[in-house]
Amino acid sequence: MKAYALTLFAIVLTLVVGELTGLVGIFYPKVVRNQPLVNPVRVASVDGDKFTLEDGRVFECITGDLAMVGNEIEVQADSPREYTVAVEVKHFICPCFQGLIRIPLIPQKIDSYSRRVVAGAKVVSERP
């Protein structure tokens, strides 16, 4: 029994020291699908600096770039006529963030998407 406890202690100590020095990785990435946008709205069309939402509102971009605008965006009011446009951006999960020896014991949750503000906009026309 004493030899078993000593062996177990040596294994745990090796894993802890290996994790602290970066030689042994006991964590593994577990990608979780999340929705970072609070109130996502579908984009119906983009025409130059103007974009139309599915609910009929039309906005004009005053700062930023609409190149990252995808199917869904979040439009948040900063003032009565000015809004912030945010999109969801997929994270790159690098598989090499662990040590030389990887022993996958403990999952580490990583969100697959994050929220990024890409533009400022003003209202051109409200809902019909």
pLDDT digits (tens, 9 = 90+) for 39-86: 899 988 888 888 889 888 899 988 887 777 778 889 998 888 889 999
Amino acid at 49: D
Instruction: Give the separation between CA 12 and CA 74, rounded to whole angstroms.
Output: 47
pTM of the model: 0.69
Instruction: Give the separation between CA 32 and CA 10, rounded to whole angstroms.
Output: 34
